[in-house]
């Protein structure tokens, strides 16, 4: 049995023998409802309004003028979209999904990410998740970005390519790191398969975008393998000043 299998078995046993409470409102989860969110909170998630506001189309952060000062000319990422800011109910749902081990939330959250992806300025050929290093995969039991990407691909009717990107090495924990430190931390951490992405328009999927360092490193690997262009969709966009590992 792998570490991922152990993690799944542990969560199943926990939910079987311990009373389940909603990860957001902490009310009991009724019998017959799968996962760690109650029906009311799932419906609230699905009813969240997509309101991106006046944001830069490249980095999805609020613009301070006609041209975003954060994005250099010739940026690797053609455009970025996110469903909403990393706050409130969306933030709480991401934490339940990612840290309380509830891959079943991938369906409602994937629908939200797909809504954002539909606002990107061009069509894509394939959907690719940000990969998770096997050491973290063993501990978590699933790759949250891959779960989201599966549902985004289904909503968009596009092929999902799970093996297009892989981690060449594990990277250090990003919590509290600056943009410069985060970029250095993930530099060269990813490799892409040319046979899977060459000549294709790629949609890269992640759960939360903070400084964009991981997305930038993935886009570089994809473009080195012949992908052109690379678009990014994230479920939530965090403000850089939060400096939180998500």
pTM above 0.85, yes or no: no
Average pLDDT score over the chain:
81
Helix (H, G, I), strand (E, B) or coil at 46: helix
Residue 155 CB coordination number (10 Å): 18
- In the chain, the domains with their CATH numbers are 51-242 (3.40.50.2020)
Q: Is 206 exposed, middle or buried (0-12, 13-18, 19+ CB in 10 A)?
A: buried
Distance between CA atoms of 207 and 131, rounded to whole angstroms? 11
**Position with higher pLDDT, 170 vs 157:** 157
pLDDT band at 246 (very low <50, low <70, confident <90, very high): very low
Going by C-beta distance under 8 Å and a sequence separation of 6 or more, which residues neighbour residue 31? none
Instruction: Reply yes or no on whether the pLDDT at 232 is more than 90.
Output: yes
Q: How far apart are CA 154 and CA 92, in angstroms?
A: 24
Measured at the alpha carbon of residue 154, what is the angle toward residues 105 and 189, in degrees to the nearest 5?
75
Answer whether 83's CB lies under 8 Å from 236's CB. yes
pLDDT computed for residue 146 by the predictor: 96
CA distance 140 to 127: 22
Q: Is the peptide bond before 229 cis (omega within 30 degrees of 0)?
A: yes
Report pLDDT for 244.
43
Q: pLDDT tens-digit profile of 14-57?
A: 555 567 788 888 888 877 676 788 888 888 887 887 766 677 78
Q: CA 42 to CA 24: how far, in whole Å?
A: 10
Which residue, among 136, 148, 245, has the nearest Cα to 204 in the 3D structure? 148
Confidence of residue 243 (pLDDT cuts 50, 70, 90): very low
Average pLDDT over residues 55-79: 75
CA dihedral 148, 113, 49, 53 (to 10 degrees): 140
């Amino acid at each position: 049995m792998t570490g991922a299998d152990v993690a799944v078995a542990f969560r199943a046993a926990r939910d079987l023998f311990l009373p389940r409470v909603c990860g957001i409102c902490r009310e009991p989860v009724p019998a017959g409802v799968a996962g760690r969110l109650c029906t009311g909170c799932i419906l609230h998630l699905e009813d969240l309004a997509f309101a991106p506001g006046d944001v830069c189309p490249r980095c999805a952060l609020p613009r301070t003028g006609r041209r975003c000062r954060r994005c250099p000319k010739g940026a690797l990422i053609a455009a970025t979209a996110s469903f909403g800011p990393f706050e409130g109910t969306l933030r709480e749902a991401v934490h339940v999904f990612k840290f309380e081990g509830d891959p079943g939330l991938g369906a409602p959250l994937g629908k939200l990410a797909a809504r954002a992806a539909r606002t990107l300025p061009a069509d894509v050929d394939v959907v690719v998740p940000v990969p998770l290093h096997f050491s973290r995969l063993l501990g978590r039991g699933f790759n949250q970005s891959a779960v989201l990407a599966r549902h985004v691909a289904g909503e968009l009717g596009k092929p999902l390519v799970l093996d297009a990107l892989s981690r060449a090495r594990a990277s250090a924990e990003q919590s509290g790191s600056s943009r410069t430190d985060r970029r250095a931390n993930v530099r060269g951490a990813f490799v892409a398969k040319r046979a899977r992405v060459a000549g294709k328009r790629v949609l890269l999927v992640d759960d939360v975008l903070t400084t964009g360092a991981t997305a930038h490193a993935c886009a570089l690997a994809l473009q080195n393998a012949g992908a052109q262009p690379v678009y990014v969709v994230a479920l939530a966009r965090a403000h850089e000043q939060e400096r939180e590992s998500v």
